[in-house]
């Protein structure tokens, strides 16, 4: 792929550092735009690691020399620059795509809630993972396209396979405990299936029965209090188990817990510093800071709550609440949010539209402009 490499200017120069002359050397490598992410990585992690490993400075030059390409400028000692240049070149040349075909029922565990598992796999392996649309509504398999280096693809496949083996093993243990119960429910519901490997086979039973019990509707005679209690307790234990909790003779699975909730925990911890200024900045994005606090700053224990609701027509809306400190009660502040029409209920669509101008496409590039 030598055509993708351009030697614009190997340059030699000298800088003064600690009263010593330090020779610097620069090279520029041309990177296809669709492969730039494999050099930069999530939050610039790959680029940072390359700079540390080879003791060089690397900068992506945003201005493109031709359509579909970007430039990476590498500066340092001659030897280090050449080594780093060769490594980047190898990464570019090594990138390929592989299709991983998985059973349709395995797509849920791979995706995770709101795609959390998929994002974790991509982040840890460095491999981009995209799920292809189903070929037909009755398809039993679905393809995942893995895009990255051979090593990244291998790491992603290993992690996905490990998760599926764990879930498969746990489902077998889980169904062994509750198979007779699920079979009994399926029989009474008229479900003609031999698949009782999980609670998914009777998921409609849980949803419909819970609603009927909530509204005190008359239930079929075979749904006794004892059956319902046994069912929901088993479901809750099974759900916790498949989320990594200890159970069925197995110890707690910290890796699965990390997959399910680690991203949220990481986000919370990374935003705990400078709490009062963070709350201050957030209230400004709502354009409500002056109405709520005037020119003062939030107390350190202040909290902003954004609640998601649905009205009688099933349309989503938000409510905002502010807690000033540990001794305060929640105060409604939705009416102060610009674009929410001065009401306590703000439609989710209106909230998204009014917030658009404050959401950066690329926070790093936005900061560089300042």
The pTM of the full predicted model, rounded to 2 decimals, is: 0.42
Digitized pLDDT (tens) for each residue of the chain, 370 residues in all = 434 434 433 444 444 444 444 457 888 888 888 788 888 877 777 888 889 989 999 988 765 556 678 888 999 999 999 999 998 888 888 888 888 888 777 787 788 777 777 888 887 788 888 888 877 777 778 888 888 888 888 888 888 877 776 666 555 555 555 667 777 877 787 766 555 555 555 667 888 888 998 999 999 999 998 888 888 887 777 777 777 777 666 777 777 777 777 777 777 777 666 567 888 888 999 999 999 998 888 988 899 999 999 998 889 999 999 999 989 999 999 999 999 989 999 999 999 999 988 887 777 666 666 5
Q: How far apart are the first and last CA of the chain?
A: 37
- Which residue ranges make up each domain of the chain? 2-94, 96-165, 166-265, 272-368
- Provide the CA 144 distance to its chain's centre, in angstroms: 17
Domain 2-94 and domain 96-165 have a common topology: yes
| 363-369, long-range: CB < 8 A, 24+ apart | 364/44, 365/62
Q: Name the CATH superfamily for 2-94.
A: K Homology domain, type 1 (3.30.1370.10)
Question: What is the CATH number that goes with domain 96-165?
Answer: 3.30.1370.10
Tell me how far the alpha carbon of residue 333 is from its chain's centroid: 29
E strands, 4-49, are 11-17, 20-32
Contacts of 333 (CB under 8 A, 6+ apart): 286, 288, 291, 292, 304, 320, 321, 322
Give the relative orientation of helices 45-54 and 78-94 as an angle to the nearest 10 degrees: 140
Q: How far apart are CA 41 and CA 34, in angstroms?
A: 12
């Amino acid at each position: 792929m030598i055509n993708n490499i351009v030697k614009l200017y190997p340059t030699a120069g000298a800088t003064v550092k600690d009263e010593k002359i330090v020779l610097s050397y620069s090279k520029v490598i041309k990177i296809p735009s669709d492969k730039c992410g494999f050099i930069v990585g999530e939050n610039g992690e790959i680029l940072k690691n390359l700079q540390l490993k080879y003791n060089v400075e690397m900068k992506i030059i945003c201005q493109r020399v031709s359509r579909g390409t970007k430039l990476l400028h590498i500066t340092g000692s001659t030897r280090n620059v050449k080594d780093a240049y060769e490594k980047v070149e190898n990464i570019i040349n090594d990138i390929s795509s592989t299709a991983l075909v998985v059973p349709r029922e395995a797509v849920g565990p791979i995706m995770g809630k709101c795609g959390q598992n998929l994002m974790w796999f991509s982040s840890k392996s460095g491999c981009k993972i995209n799920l292809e649309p189903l070929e037909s509504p009755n398809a039993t398999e679905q393809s995942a396209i893995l895009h990255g280096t051979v090593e990244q693809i291998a790491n992603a496949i290993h992690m996905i396979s490990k998760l599926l083996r764990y879930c498969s093993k746990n489902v077998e243990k889980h169904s062994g405990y509750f198979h007779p119960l699920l079979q009994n429910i399926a029989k009474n519901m008229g479900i003609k299936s031999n698949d009782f490997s999980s609670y998914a086979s009777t998921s409609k039973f849980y949803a419909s029965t819970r609603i009927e019990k909530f509204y005190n509707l008359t239930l079929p005679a075979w749904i006794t209090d004892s059956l319902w209690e046994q069912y929901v307790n088993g479901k809750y234990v099974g759900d916790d188990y498949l989320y990594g909790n200890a159970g069925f003779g197995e110890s707690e699975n910290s890796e699965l817990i990390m997959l399910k909730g680690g991203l949220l925990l990481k986000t919370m911890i990374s935003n705990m510093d400078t709490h009062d200024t963070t709350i201050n900045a957030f209230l400004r994005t709502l354009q409500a800071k002056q109405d709520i606090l005037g020119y003062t700053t939030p107390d350190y224990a202040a909290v902003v709550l954004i609640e998601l609701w649905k009205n009688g027509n099933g349309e989503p809306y938000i409510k905002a609440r502010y807690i000033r400190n540990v001794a305060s009660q929640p105060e409604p502040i939705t009416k102060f949010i610009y674009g929410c029409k001065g009401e306590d209920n703000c439609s989710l669509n209106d909230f998204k539209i009014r917030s658009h101008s404050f959401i950066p496409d690329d926070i790093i590039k936005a900061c560089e402009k300042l």
